[in-house]
A and B are shown apart, each in its own frame.
Chain A
Amino acid sequence: MLKREVVYESVLDHDFLDEIYSLPGGQEIKKCIQCGTCSGSCPQGAVMDYAPRKIFSLIRAGFRDEVLESNTIWYCSSCYTCAVRCPKEIKITDVMYALKRIAIKEGKAKKGRKAAILSNNFVRLVNKYGRNHETELMTRYILFAEPHHAFNFIPQGWKLFSNGRLPIMPHKIKNIDQLRKILKKVDELGEI
């Protein structure tokens, strides 16, 4: 539920809308007709603070913090069901990605703390080895996100390990230098 019922022009964040518009495909959200097809299609709609339709409404009304601090963006599993059904062809999943990035960057991912830990460690491993190392990713995730629930992961971990599906050693690509040069250049160029 929204904490603020009435919003005054002076406290709204107009830059937020410009931020979203400036993304590739971000202009599309201007076309939202609030039909709710996205919310009705979302497998996670019922557990979200605001289902996608409301998120679009909130973005356009400048409720920046409410959007970025909502659990909605972290429940999006990138299944693209809403996106293929949207009558206005808004790339909803990609808007969710953009919101995830802004929330992580600004430390507003409180309800997405675990997802942010998972994503950040994923990036770290890919930058280090050139590939994801699932065993290390899960270990790091448990350690940083849910150390007090570590035992919860044991049965499934064992099922994978005992069937030879969890390699201990990571694989590092040969030309990791090339990958790093590419990443460094992106850093210099700045994001999109």
Chain B
Amino acid sequence: MKYTYYPGCSVKATANLYQESIDSVTPLLGIELEELEDWNCCGATAYMSVRELMSFAISARNLALAEKHHRDIVTPCSACYLVLKKTNQYFADYPNLRKKLGQALEAGGLSYSGNTRVRHILNVIVNDVGMEKIAGLVKKKLKGLNVAPYYGCQIVRPHYYGCGADEENIDDPDNPVSMDRLIEATGATCVKYSMKTKCCGSSLMGTEEKQAMKLCMEILADAESNGAHCIVTICPLCQMNLDVYQSKVNRLFGTKFNIPVIYFTQLIGLALDRPAKELGLGRLAVKMTRPMKQILQGA
């Protein structure tokens, strides 16, 4: 299964551990990712807050470059996923915007007809690889490991841009289950808790830090009180907020959280018995805890 890969800026920097685990795991799952040549930033939420048409234009450049390959474009980042999907939807829904985007792309020698299908890598792994195949590939059943799935926002919302609803996989915007099933396929126990799609604060961690830390505290507290050994996520910004700011959350709220926050591809890698270093687990701010290591050794 070959796909055009759109990494996004974060996995090249603060989320490089995500990329390392993707590199380690995808070949074993039979997924071939060919990086889109000379891709640019999707614009995320920040560009859209300043210039609208321009943000769609930079996003559309990626879709236009990808369209030449006639393959699905796959991204590991929730923000990229949402922005690319939103661009496609606006392109389809608003003729005036479509016309202007066409003219802008033409100025750069590009054209786009709206046919690049955008997918999140979780969706590809859950639907194209499938649970049965993954369960069959598992070398080390993660028995006894309690894993809290954290989906965050932009992979499951909003449905009207097609998020979380890639034809065959319509995940609920409040209670999605695709990653839950994946956790179970690795032999781990999926923790049931209510915060799995609550916002982590995203970029408010920079601008309104206390509010974002409060949101992170609530997510961590809910996962911990339901017995989670670790949290598994799919989004670079969610991971950074919950992992890198965990010690600061502890200082502000007097809590004692020590919960590793890992990427779902790192969890798959552990179940496929890949070395921790290859999966980028050494780069976590909150390192793997002793109980977690003991469970993994015993598994």
Contacts and interface: CB of A to CB of B under 8 A. Distances in A.
Interface in B36-81: 38-41, 43-54, 57-58, 61
Interface in B198-245: 198-199, 201-204, 206-208, 211-212, 215, 240, 244-245
Interface string A154-190: 0110011001111100010111001101111111011
A119 interface: yes
Contacts of A171: 12
Given A159-B285, A179-B108, A182-B104, A77 B202 contact: yes
A156 B47 contact: no
Contact of A132 (B15, B44, B48, B285): B44
Interface stretch (A5-13, A59-67, A83-91): A83-91
A48 B9 CA distance: 31
B182 interface: no
A74 B211 CA distance: 12
B14 A166 contact: yes
A115 B206 CA distance: 8
Given A165-B283, A173-B38, A182-B104, A24 B94 contact: yes
Interface stretch (A29-37, A49-57, A133-141): A133-141
A114 interface: yes
B3 to A, nearest CB: 21
Interface size, B (range): 35 or more
Interface stretch (B127-135, B152-160, B260-268): B152-160
Contact of A79 (B17, B38, B106, B202): B202
B41 to A, nearest CB: 5
A141 to B, nearest CB: 6
Interface size, A (range): 35 or more
B245 to A, nearest CB: 6
Interface of A: 24, 43-44, 47, 74-75, 77-81, 83-84, 89, 91, 93, 97-98, 100-101, 104, 112, 114-115, 118-120, 122-123, 126, 130-135, 138, 141, 145, 155-156, 159-160, 163-167, 171, 173-175, 178-179, 181-187, 189-192
28 contacts: A44-B204, A74-B208, A75-B208, A77-B202, A77-B204, A83-B160, A84-B157, A84-B159, A84-B173, A101-B50, A101-B52, A122-B44, A123-B50, A126-B47, A132-B44, A155-B247, A156-B248, A160-B240, A163-B283, A165-B13, A165-B14, A179-B40, A182-B107, A183-B54, A185-B107, A186-B100, A190-B53, A191-B53
